[in-house]
Amino acid sequence: MTSVLIVLSAADSWTLKDGSKHPTGYWAEELVEPHRIFSAAGWGITIASPGGQKPTVDKASLGFFGGMPRKTRALAAYLAEHREEIDRPKSLADIEVLDFDAIFYPGGHGPMEDLSHDVESGRIISTAMSVSMPLALLCHAPAAAFAARNEDGTWPFAGYAMTGLSNAEEKFNRLAHKAPWLLEDRLIDEGAKYVKGPVPLAPYITVDRNLYTGQNPASAGKLARRIIADFAEPAMRISVQKKISASPEAVYGVISDVASIGDRSPEATGATWLRGRRRFIGHNRIGLLYRWSTLCTVTEDKPGTTFEFYASWPSMTTWRYELASVKGGTEVTETMTKAGAQYAPIRWTQNLVGVRDRGAHLRAGMQTTLDRLAAHFDAETSAGSRRQATLPSRDASASPDGVPAPKS
């Protein structure tokens, strides 16, 4: 099951530049819509907040500023239906980022108050960025990005295209002139490439590598659906088959040893297991200069039958090995499923290094992988035959240690 972590602010007020506090929290639509969409898609959802504190819904999001009465009544009803889950979040300090497939931050003014400097939230975001895990920040939630830092102290989002509530949209709020800072201004100051839609308050999202951002509450549903689409809609599927002269159990033993993948694949150079051996970092290359790494998650692991893993950004692919016992060995089917269309900058880089047809390149590489896998077992068989041939022959008159028995 695909799993998503939803991080909510625990703030119930927003400190203005004059020192006064204005009631706030998370914005109802920005939690309800993603939660509903992820649930409908069958995703597992975990909610967390600083210290595991009970989050507060911004009452304004259930009133006039939240939309028409029919809409806000539906939002309130959904929150009431899921109150036990929402009111008992996990603590951010207890979150292991690698236990999830994606992370989603709803907005409201709350993140500006606490998540913008929360150490544990910063750790979660920094880790997600370091392993290229899909990370979504909605409306005011990009404020949480300010707490994140790389190991060298730099900001992980420098140079990334990001959106968030614009200055123009913030000014619909009568307290905008009292805000300690405006999100658009600070994103630009920190080094992000801020972008926004042409019409204020209309849905607008942008995606840059593994970072998904939405401009305003109206973007909540669109942002969640884009993440699901990138996981669920295959843009390319390639399968190759080969008979291997070995048992399914023996073949599985080699395939599931991802650390040795560089011995077989012409593109993957190796892999490093992470804690728990459910995830690993795969290292890849094309030519001398184009190299990249990606976070991979084992999604199915049945010894002698199936081994499957998902490679996150930039690959966004699922790799599956199915093993079937046949006369004389095992028929291995390797299948690659590409979740979504390749991003333009990556296509440009691949063209630059000579890969103009990614599908044909992958098919050839997969065939080479299975050919090398077959050669591995052929070599083992040959070596075993040679060892057998060098053993002393025995006959009925031989003693147990191979020395002929004395004749009487």
pLDDT given at position 402? 42
Q: Identify the bridge partners of residue 295 per DSSP, sorted by sequence position.
A: 281
More confident of the two residues 85 and 357: 85
pLDDT given at position 352? 82
Contacts of 161 (CB under 8 A, 6+ apart): 192, 193, 195, 206, 208, 211
Mean pLDDT of 46-66: 97
For the CA atoms of 121, 125, 126, 130, the dihedral, rounded to the nearest 10 degrees, stands at 150
Task: Give percent of the chain with pLDDT exceeding 90.
Answer: 73
Nearest to 17 by CA among 93, 113, 126: 113
386 pLDDT higher than 70: no
User: Helices 358-390 and 248-255 meet at what angle, rounded to 10?
Assistant: 120
Mean of the per-residue pLDDT values for the chain?
Answer: 90
Nearest to 363 by CA among 229, 242, 244: 242
pLDDT given at position 199? 94
User: 92 with 120: CB under 8 angstroms?
Assistant: yes
Dist CA 243 CA 225 (whole Å): 40
pLDDT given at position 387? 64
For the segment 113-132, what is each residue's pLDDT rounded down to a tens digit? Answer: 999 999 999 999 999 999 88
Q: How confident is the model at residue 324 (pLDDT cuts 50, 70, 90)?
A: very high
pLDDT given at position 221? 95
For the segment 215-260, what is each residue's pLDDT rounded down to a tens digit? Answer: 999 999 999 999 998 876 556 888 999 999 999 999 999 999 999 9
- Please give the model's pTM, rounded to 2 decimal places: 0.65
Task: Give percent of the chain with pLDDT exceeding 70.
Answer: 91
More confident of the two residues 350 and 392: 350
